[in-house]
A and B are shown apart, each in its own frame.
Chain A
Amino acid sequence: MIITKPKPFDEVLSFLDKGPVFIAGCSECATLCHTGGEEEVLTMVKTLEKKNIPVSGWVVLDPACHLQNDRRLLKKHKDALQKAKKVLVLACGNGVQTLAELLTAVDVVPGTDTLFLGETKRVTEFEKRCIMCGKCIIGILGGFCPLARCPKSMLNGPCGGAQAGKCEVDPNLDCIWDLMYKRLKERGQLQLLETIQKPLDWSTCIEMRRTL
């Protein structure tokens, strides 16, 4: 899931001027992150109105990153969108840009910061799992990705900094190599770690456009 967090409200206000504002949320990741579901959208409507910033309408897109769905869902809000000077998007950076692509006559602004592709550990706890490098290597590393989960992206074993299985960069973070070692040992597959992993092909990571 794409993990987002709400932007500081002052920053959001700095984008909005005097409005009127149309608010767009997202039914998927941002709903699950509690940053852009119906609840958060309605809270934002109230908060803005309290600040005397008129809200011309709102919608929860399904999902915001889907160009065709957005086009269809926004049709119903044509009048509200015409009244709006700003469209505040409570979705990931992709959602913001999909709307900016569709709505060319208004300022489309983000209400969230997009953090990473990660796992929901608990309702409000998320952890990075994937850097979308374009060529998955997890299969040879016991189901763990050190590119996403090791701050040094080390591919040939742990650095010397971890203590009691915790990362030197962030003591709240498990050392991914510690987890990997334990898992592979348990499964009798430690020989997997003997291979010298070669420098990666990052060209897949810089691919900007792909059609399937």
Chain B
Amino acid sequence: MSYRSNFERVLSEGKFAVTAEIGPPKGSDPNTIRHKAEHLRGYADAFNITDNQTAVVRMASIAGCSLLLTMKIEPIMQITCRDRNRIALQSDILGAAAIGIRNILCLTGDHQSFGNHPTAKGVYDIDSIQLIQIVKNMRDKGIFQSGDELLAGKPAVVIGAAANPFAEPYELRVDRLEKKIRAGADFIQTQSVYNLDRFNAWMDDVRSRGLDKKVHIIPGVTPLKSLKMTERMKYHVPGVDVPDTIEKRMKTAKDPKQEGYKIALELMREVQTIKGVHGIHITALFWETIIPDLVKEAGLYPRP
């Protein structure tokens, strides 16, 4: 059996996948990404390169992915609908596939008002579900959104999508996941999990509809680096659900950084036991150096 990517191989062989996020720099220096990637080499099956996350201008995701590829490290290119219309998005998909990117995570994107250019005009020509469908049709049917045919190579990419089990209304969350699967998602990376009860409730619903058999579900874990970060995640980042118990632990801890690490490790161990979960996605914001320890201690090293 041939796989489009190593990441797809791991998932398809039923092994527990690990992905991790690498944020490109606010500048053109390629070494920032190279250093991070070198440090993390071997600790994940593929690395998400974000696309101007939180609407802050950074090095292009496609360039970051290209840098990883030259190091023989597998990227997952994140691509958002905020800054590009369907013409640019499809063009970037073709370009990404051409330079060897094999995993693409399709997102709507954080609103520009939250970033460092709040006066920018958002594009939002299409949304993430439409983008998933477009990429799938380019890959499987060889047609663009307009129906026009691709003439020289279909992008052989694994299609990813995001899901947030913690956003209200809860009843709609699994419906939306199902829509993403119907549109063509091969894997799902979720919002960072802190509230395990809520995540379990979502997974119950996912399993009861058999969706875990149709898509690879990879919950996110974000280690809390400080009390300040905990409070920011709890009170200011929309769509993140940090339970009071975790806030309290971070508040009373002698060494909050150590406590944050411990919580992340507990969460990683816990989600590994949930039926239907196919991997873990580590987003260590401004703390990427911690990833190797987390992966090792969670028993997920070496990678298959």
Residues of A near B120 (CB, < 8 A) are 199, 202
**Shortest distance between the CB of A210 and any CB in chain B (Å):** 15
Closest Cβ neighbor of B117 among chain A residues: A199
Residues of B near A206 (CB, < 8 A) are 113, 122
Q: How far is the CA of A205 from the CA of B113 in the complex (A)?
A: 11
Interface residues of B in 232-262 (CB under 8 A from A): none
Interface residues of A in 175-212 (CB under 8 A from B): 199-203, 205-206
**Shortest distance between the CB of B121 and any CB in chain A (Å):** 4
**Shortest distance between the CB of B54 and any CB in chain A (Å):** 16
Q: How far is the CA of A201 from the CA of B118 in the complex (A)?
A: 8
Interface residues of B in 89-143 (CB under 8 A from A): 113, 118-122
Q: How far is the CA of A200 from the CA of B118 in the complex (A)?
A: 11
Q: How far is the CA of A58 from the CA of B120 in the complex (A)?
A: 44
Q: How far is the CA of A206 from the CA of B117 in the complex (A)?
A: 14
Closest Cβ neighbor of B111 among chain A residues: A206
Main secondary structure of the interface of B (DSSP, over half): loop
Q: How far is the CA of A201 from the CA of B113 in the complex (A)?
A: 11
Closest Cβ neighbor of A198 among chain B residues: B119
Residues of A near B118 (CB, < 8 A) are 203
Residues of B near A201 (CB, < 8 A) are 119
Residues of A near B121 (CB, < 8 A) are 200, 202, 205
Number of A-B contacts (CB under 8 A): 15
Q: How far is the CA of A205 from the CA of B120 in the complex (A)?
A: 10
Q: How far is the CA of A10 from the CA of B121 in the complex (A)?
A: 36
**Shortest distance between the CB of B120 and any CB in chain A (Å):** 6
Q: Mark B24-64, 1 if CB is under 8 A from A, else 0.
A: 00000000000000000000000000000000000000000
**Shortest distance between the CB of B117 and any CB in chain A (Å):** 9
**Shortest distance between the CB of A206 and any CB in chain B (Å):** 7
Residues of B near A202 (CB, < 8 A) are 119-122
Q: How far is the CA of A201 from the CA of B119 in the complex (A)?
A: 4
**Shortest distance between the CB of A30 and any CB in chain B (Å):** 28
Closest Cβ neighbor of A133 among chain B residues: B121
Closest Cβ neighbor of B121 among chain A residues: A202
Q: How far is the CA of A205 from the CA of B112 in the complex (A)?
A: 12
Residues of B near A199 (CB, < 8 A) are 119-120
Interface residues of A in 72-87 (CB under 8 A from B): none
Q: How far is the CA of A203 from the CA of B111 in the complex (A)?
A: 11
**Shortest distance between the CB of A77 and any CB in chain B (Å):** 33
Closest Cβ neighbor of A202 among chain B residues: B121
**Shortest distance between the CB of A191 and any CB in chain B (Å):** 26
**Shortest distance between the CB of B48 and any CB in chain A (Å):** 28
**Shortest distance between the CB of A91 and any CB in chain B (Å):** 26
Q: Which of B113, B119, B122 contacts A200 (CB 8 A)?
A: B119
Q: How far is the CA of A203 from the CA of B117 in the complex (A)?
A: 10
Q: How far is the CA of A200 from the CA of B119 in the complex (A)?
A: 7
Residues of A near B122 (CB, < 8 A) are 202, 206
**Shortest distance between the CB of B67 and any CB in chain A (Å):** 29
**Which of A199, A201, A205, A206 is packed against the most chain B CB atoms within 10 Å?**
A206
Q: How far is the CA of A62 from the CA of B120 in the complex (A)?
A: 37
Q: How far is the CA of A201 from the CA of B120 in the complex (A)?
A: 7
Q: How far is the CA of A88 from the CA of B138 in the complex (A)?
A: 40
Closest Cβ neighbor of A207 among chain B residues: B113
Closest Cβ neighbor of B118 among chain A residues: A203
**Which of A199, A203, A205 is packed against the most chain B CB atoms within 10 Å?**
A203
Residues of A near B113 (CB, < 8 A) are 203, 206
**Which of B113, B120, B121 is packed against the most chain A CB atoms within 10 Å?**
B121
**Shortest distance between the CB of B47 and any CB in chain A (Å):** 33
**Shortest distance between the CB of A63 and any CB in chain B (Å):** 30
Closest Cβ neighbor of B113 among chain A residues: A203
Residues of A near B119 (CB, < 8 A) are 199-203
**Shortest distance between the CB of B237 and any CB in chain A (Å):** 20
**Shortest distance between the CB of B15 and any CB in chain A (Å):** 44
Q: How far is the CA of A199 from the CA of B117 in the complex (A)?
A: 11
**15 A-B pairs whose Cβ atoms sit less than 8 Å apart in the complex:** A199-B119, A199-B120, A200-B119, A200-B121, A201-B119, A202-B119, A202-B120, A202-B121, A202-B122, A203-B113, A203-B118, A203-B119, A205-B121, A206-B113, A206-B122
Task: Give 8 new A-B contacts, CB below 8 A, not counting A200-B121, A202-B121, A206-B122.
Answer: A199-B119, A199-B120, A201-B119, A202-B119, A202-B120, A203-B118, A203-B119, A206-B113
- Cβ-closest 8 pairs across A and B: A202-B121, A201-B119, A203-B119, A203-B118, A202-B119, A203-B113, A202-B120, A206-B113
